[in-house]
Structure 1
């Protein structure tokens, strides 16, 4: 599927009905989600792969991975209502046969993967919290991701590379792509209709790190 077609399809994905500021629930824009997934697809990390989506929200990355030919996709999110919308989106987009969702805290993902006998994924895709409400909110996502898959794609604030490289050792960053994240006015404390922030997409190879 071409990039523009993927973007058009992801525009149809329903967002949060009642987003939580504490969970930093912003719908990933279709343009960014499509570009993010297409990068992974062009690197051979989506098609015919098992893909996990951490902090999946309403499932835009999960659905997109399936549309790009992932063999199996599992999304994980703490918010039960978001998972319900994600399941609805997968059904509406015709990918529910290859996409499923699990409601759990990110710190419990490894236990869920083992208990559900899901096994290690080929790729994790995720748009974790940036830490706007509480610094360090992205750390549990990174820690779980490098335990769960061979390759990780993750979106972070611009300038995060030094921290991420130190945090994920012995896993390594192989690529870094700079882009923009337009955030629409979602909460009362937002002043602008659209706030655009600079972000970086990291591709991480985990060197076979796995659950203890």
Structure 2
């Protein structure tokens, strides 16, 4: 499936009905999700078992299944987000298992983790438990972080290594009351991390 077709399908995904600020619930934009998923697909990282940590309404998990992943599980501790994720998977005709769980309790091993963890804008270090869980349970990780996180990530993930990284645009829609603009574009860094080289 071409990246543009995947993006069009992912645009069908319903976002959060009532996003929680403390969980930093921002919908991953369909363009960015399609870009990351297509990149992972081209690396051969989406054929086997996949997990999406902090899956929210399911965009990365569903996209992985659309690209032919054998088994996909999405974890989130927000039952309302998971309910939307289940409806989204049904709407797009894919089978994804959604589990209500804190990501620190995830124990099943998978080939690849996809995630858009909290950036720690509200509470510093919010992305660390996500990275720790992914490092513990997978061989390859695709993760989105604030621009300028490279040195921290490299140090935090050792002995795992970043094999690829690039800067991307992340359009943020006005989600919470304190947001001034209808839409703001922030720059993020996408990392592909190999846990066992």
Partner Cα distance (2:72, 2:30) in 1: 18
CA distance in 1, matches of 2:151, 2:66: 33
| Corresponding position: 1:37 with 2:34 | no
Alignment of structure 1 residues 28-107 onto 2, 5 Å: 28-46=28-46, 48-96=47-95, 99-107=96-104
Shift of 1:158: 0.7
- Give TM-score scaled by structure 2 length: 0.98
Match of 2:134 in 1: 145
Aligned length: 197
- In structure 1, C-alpha distance between the alignment counterparts of 2:3 and 2:196, rounded to whole Å: 29
User: Aligned pair 1:27/2:27, yes or no?
Assistant: yes
- Structure 2 CA distance, aligned partners of 1:106 and 1:69? 24
| Correspondence for 1:129 | 118
User: CA separation in 1, counterparts of 2:54 and 2:183?
Assistant: 23
* CA deviation after TM superposition for structure 1 residue 140, in Å: 0.2
Q: CA deviation at 1:106?
A: 1.4
Structure 2 counterpart of 1:166, from 136, 141, 155: 155
Question: 1:182-209, CA deviations, whole angstroms, 9 ceiling, x for partnerless residues?
Answer: 100010000011111110100000018x
TM-score if structure 1 supplies the norm length? Answer: 0.91
Q: CA RMSD in A?
A: 0.9
CA distance, structure 2, for counterparts of residue 138 and residue 62 of structure 1: 19
What is the distance in 2 between the residues matched to 1:8 and 1:134?
33
4+ long deviations beyond 6 Å: none
Cα offsets for 1:84-140 (capped at 9, x unmatched): 1111111111002xx101101111112xx3xxxxxx111000000001110100000
Quick one: distance in 1 between partners of 2:145 and 2:26?
14
The one of 103, 106, 130 aligned to 1:109 = 106
Unaligned 5+ residue runs, structure 2? none
Query: Structure 1 CA distance, aligned partners of 2:26 and 2:106?
Result: 21
1:28 counterpart SS class: coil
